[in-house]
Protein backbone atom coordinates (compact mmCIF):
# COMPACT_ATOMS: atom_id res chain seq x y z
CA UNK A 1 0.00 0.00 0.00
CA UNK A 2 2.86 2.42 0.75
CA UNK A 3 5.07 1.28 -2.11
CA UNK A 4 7.41 -1.13 -0.38
CA UNK A 5 8.01 -4.81 -1.10
CA UNK A 6 7.27 -6.49 2.22
CA UNK A 7 8.84 -9.86 3.02
CA UNK A 8 8.16 -11.94 6.15
CA UNK A 9 11.33 -13.80 7.05
CA UNK A 10 13.35 -15.43 9.80
CA UNK A 11 16.48 -15.65 7.62
CA UNK A 12 19.39 -13.62 8.96
CA UNK A 13 20.84 -12.98 5.51
CA UNK A 14 17.55 -11.59 4.23
CA UNK A 15 17.23 -9.33 7.26
CA UNK A 16 20.72 -7.95 6.79
CA UNK A 17 20.07 -7.27 3.08
CA UNK A 18 16.86 -5.34 3.69
CA UNK A 19 16.56 -1.58 3.14
CA UNK A 20 14.31 -1.31 6.22
CA UNK A 21 13.24 -3.65 8.99
CA UNK A 22 9.95 -3.95 10.88
CA UNK A 23 9.93 -5.86 14.16
CA UNK A 24 6.24 -6.60 14.81
CA UNK A 25 4.77 -8.64 17.59
CA UNK A 26 1.76 -9.82 19.54
CA UNK A 27 2.34 -12.00 22.57
CA UNK A 28 4.59 -12.29 25.61
CA UNK A 29 8.00 -10.64 25.87
CA UNK A 30 9.87 -13.65 27.25
CA UNK A 31 8.46 -16.03 24.65
CA UNK A 32 9.32 -13.63 21.84
CA UNK A 33 12.93 -13.23 23.00
CA UNK A 34 13.20 -17.01 23.37
CA UNK A 35 12.05 -17.54 19.78
CA UNK A 36 14.46 -14.88 18.48
CA UNK A 37 17.27 -16.63 20.36
CA UNK A 38 16.32 -20.08 19.06
CA UNK A 39 16.24 -18.73 15.48
CA UNK A 40 19.59 -16.99 16.06
CA UNK A 41 18.09 -13.62 15.09
CA UNK A 42 19.09 -11.45 18.05
CA UNK A 43 22.51 -10.67 16.57
CA UNK A 44 21.25 -9.89 13.05
CA UNK A 45 18.44 -7.67 14.38
CA UNK A 46 20.84 -5.71 16.57
CA UNK A 47 23.38 -5.46 13.75
CA UNK A 48 20.71 -4.11 11.43
CA UNK A 49 19.46 -1.54 13.93
CA UNK A 50 22.98 -0.36 14.66
CA UNK A 51 23.78 -0.10 10.96
CA UNK A 52 21.82 3.10 10.32
CA UNK A 53 18.98 1.82 8.11
CA UNK A 54 15.37 2.55 9.11
CA UNK A 55 14.12 0.22 11.82
CA UNK A 56 10.52 0.15 13.07
CA UNK A 57 9.16 -1.65 16.14
CA UNK A 58 5.41 -2.18 16.55
CA UNK A 59 3.58 -3.13 19.79
CA UNK A 60 5.56 -6.03 21.33
CA UNK A 61 8.24 -5.21 18.74
CA UNK A 62 8.61 -1.83 20.46
CA UNK A 63 8.87 -3.42 23.90
CA UNK A 64 11.55 -5.86 22.73
CA UNK A 65 13.86 -2.91 22.08
CA UNK A 66 14.13 -2.29 25.83
CA UNK A 67 16.81 -3.61 28.16
CA UNK A 68 14.42 -5.80 30.12
CA UNK A 69 10.76 -6.56 30.83
CA UNK A 70 8.90 -7.51 34.00
CA UNK A 71 6.20 -9.43 32.09
CA UNK A 72 5.87 -12.91 33.69
CA UNK A 73 9.22 -12.55 35.44
CA UNK A 74 12.40 -10.75 34.40
CA UNK A 75 13.51 -11.10 30.79
CA UNK A 76 16.37 -9.48 28.88
CA UNK A 77 15.50 -7.54 25.75
CA UNK A 78 17.49 -6.31 22.77
CA UNK A 79 18.74 -3.25 24.73
CA UNK A 80 18.56 -1.01 21.64
CA UNK A 81 16.60 1.64 23.55
CA UNK A 82 17.74 1.33 27.18
CA UNK A 83 14.97 1.10 29.74
CA UNK A 84 12.42 -1.32 31.13
CA UNK A 85 8.99 -2.59 30.15
CA UNK A 86 6.47 -2.36 32.98
CA UNK A 87 2.80 -3.14 33.49
CA UNK A 88 0.11 -0.50 33.14
CA UNK A 89 -1.16 0.52 36.59
CA UNK A 90 -4.14 -1.39 37.90
CA UNK A 91 -5.69 1.58 39.72
CA UNK A 92 -6.02 5.35 39.49
CA UNK A 93 -4.51 7.67 42.05
CA UNK A 94 -7.87 7.68 43.86
CA UNK A 95 -7.86 3.88 44.07
CA UNK A 96 -10.46 3.30 41.34
CA UNK A 97 -9.55 0.23 39.30
CA UNK A 98 -8.24 0.59 35.75
CA UNK A 99 -9.10 -1.92 33.02
CA UNK A 100 -5.95 -3.72 31.87
CA UNK A 101 -5.22 -4.46 29.06
CA UNK A 102 -5.97 -1.24 27.26
CA UNK A 103 -7.89 -2.25 24.16
CA UNK A 104 -9.20 0.39 21.79
CA UNK A 105 -8.64 3.87 20.46
CA UNK A 106 -6.60 6.48 22.30
CA UNK A 107 -4.84 9.73 21.47
CA UNK A 108 -1.16 10.40 20.84
CA UNK A 109 0.39 13.80 21.58
CA UNK A 110 3.89 15.24 21.56
CA UNK A 111 5.82 15.10 24.87
CA UNK A 112 5.34 17.93 27.35
CA UNK A 113 6.76 21.20 26.09
CA UNK A 114 6.74 20.04 22.45
CA UNK A 115 4.29 20.44 19.58
CA UNK A 116 3.78 18.61 16.27
CA UNK A 117 6.87 20.26 14.73
CA UNK A 118 8.81 17.92 17.03
CA UNK A 119 7.67 15.11 14.73
CA UNK A 120 9.33 16.56 11.60
CA UNK A 121 11.60 13.99 10.00
CA UNK A 122 10.00 11.09 11.90
CA UNK A 123 7.24 8.62 10.96
CA UNK A 124 4.77 10.96 12.70
CA UNK A 125 5.55 13.90 10.40
CA UNK A 126 2.43 15.71 9.25
CA UNK A 127 0.14 14.22 11.89
CA UNK A 128 -1.76 16.47 14.26
CA UNK A 129 -1.46 16.10 17.99
CA UNK A 130 -4.43 14.27 19.46
CA UNK A 131 -4.86 11.79 16.60
CA UNK A 132 -6.46 8.51 17.66
CA UNK A 133 -4.49 5.27 17.29
CA UNK A 134 -5.47 1.69 18.13
CA UNK A 135 -3.89 0.06 21.19
CA UNK A 136 -3.89 -3.51 22.53
CA UNK A 137 -1.47 -3.90 25.43
CA UNK A 138 -0.97 -4.50 29.14
CA UNK A 139 2.65 -3.32 29.35
CA UNK A 140 4.50 -0.23 28.16
CA UNK A 141 8.12 0.89 27.78
CA UNK A 142 9.74 3.13 30.37
CA UNK A 143 12.88 4.42 28.61
CA UNK A 144 15.91 5.50 30.64
CA UNK A 145 16.37 8.60 28.47
CA UNK A 146 13.22 10.76 28.26
CA UNK A 147 14.73 12.37 25.18
CA UNK A 148 13.84 9.31 23.08
CA UNK A 149 10.10 9.71 23.73
CA UNK A 150 8.39 10.64 20.45
CA UNK A 151 4.77 10.70 21.63
CA UNK A 152 2.81 10.04 24.78
CA UNK A 153 -0.66 8.73 25.54
CA UNK A 154 -2.86 9.15 28.61
CA UNK A 155 -4.83 6.14 29.80
CA UNK A 156 -7.21 6.96 32.62
CA UNK A 157 -5.02 9.28 34.75
CA UNK A 158 -1.71 7.71 33.73
CA UNK A 159 0.60 8.93 30.95
CA UNK A 160 3.07 6.65 29.15
CA UNK A 161 5.47 6.74 26.20
CA UNK A 162 3.54 5.44 23.18
CA UNK A 163 6.25 6.21 20.63
CA UNK A 164 10.05 6.23 20.70
CA UNK A 165 12.76 7.44 18.33
CA UNK A 166 16.50 6.93 18.72
CA UNK A 167 18.54 7.64 15.63
CA UNK A 168 17.32 5.36 12.84
CA UNK A 169 15.14 3.36 15.26
CA UNK A 170 11.45 4.29 15.63
CA UNK A 171 8.83 2.35 17.57
CA UNK A 172 5.17 2.57 18.56
CA UNK A 173 3.09 0.84 21.21
CA UNK A 174 -0.07 1.19 19.10
CA UNK A 175 -0.80 -0.54 15.78
CA UNK A 176 -0.57 1.94 12.86
CA UNK A 177 -1.96 -0.70 10.48
CA UNK A 178 -5.17 -0.84 12.55
CA UNK A 179 -5.41 2.93 12.98
CA UNK A 180 -7.11 4.08 9.79
CA UNK A 181 -5.74 6.69 7.35
CA UNK A 182 -3.57 8.43 9.95
CA UNK A 183 -2.00 5.13 10.92
CA UNK A 184 -1.24 4.38 7.28
CA UNK A 185 0.31 7.85 7.03
CA UNK A 186 2.89 6.66 9.56
CA UNK A 187 3.83 3.78 7.25
CA UNK A 188 3.92 6.14 4.26
CA UNK A 189 6.35 8.38 6.12
CA UNK A 190 8.47 5.42 7.13
CA UNK A 191 8.45 4.11 3.55
CA UNK A 192 9.80 7.48 2.38
CA UNK A 193 12.57 7.19 4.97
CA UNK A 194 13.41 3.68 3.71
CA UNK A 195 13.56 4.82 0.08
CA UNK A 196 15.69 7.86 0.93
CA UNK A 197 18.09 5.72 2.96
CA UNK A 198 18.38 3.18 0.13
CA UNK A 199 19.14 5.93 -2.41
CA UNK A 200 21.77 7.45 -0.15
CA UNK A 201 23.46 4.11 0.44
CA UNK A 202 23.43 3.38 -3.30
CA UNK A 203 24.92 6.80 -4.04
CA UNK A 204 27.63 6.26 -1.41
CA UNK A 205 28.60 2.99 -3.13
CA UNK A 206 29.00 4.94 -6.36
Q: Which residues are catalytic?
A: 59, 175, 177
Phi and psi, residue 202, nearest 5°: -65, -40
Contact 69, 29 (CB under 8 A): yes
Neighbours of 26 (CB within 10 A): 12
Please tell me whether residue 17 adopts helix, strand or coil conformation. Answer: helix
Nearest to 55, CA basis, from 132, 135, 151, 122: 122
The string of DSSP codes covering 137-186 is: ESEEEEES-GGGEEEEEEETTEEEEEEEEETTEEEESSBGGGSHHHHHHH
Report d(CA 176, CA 187) in Å as an integer. Answer: 7
Amino acid sequence: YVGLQAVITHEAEEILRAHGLVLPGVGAFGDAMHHLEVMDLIGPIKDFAQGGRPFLGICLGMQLLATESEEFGRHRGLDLVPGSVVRLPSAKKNGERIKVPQVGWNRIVAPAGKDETFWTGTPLAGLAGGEYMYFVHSFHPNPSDPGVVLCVTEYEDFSFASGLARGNVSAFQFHPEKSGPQGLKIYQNWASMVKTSAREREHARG
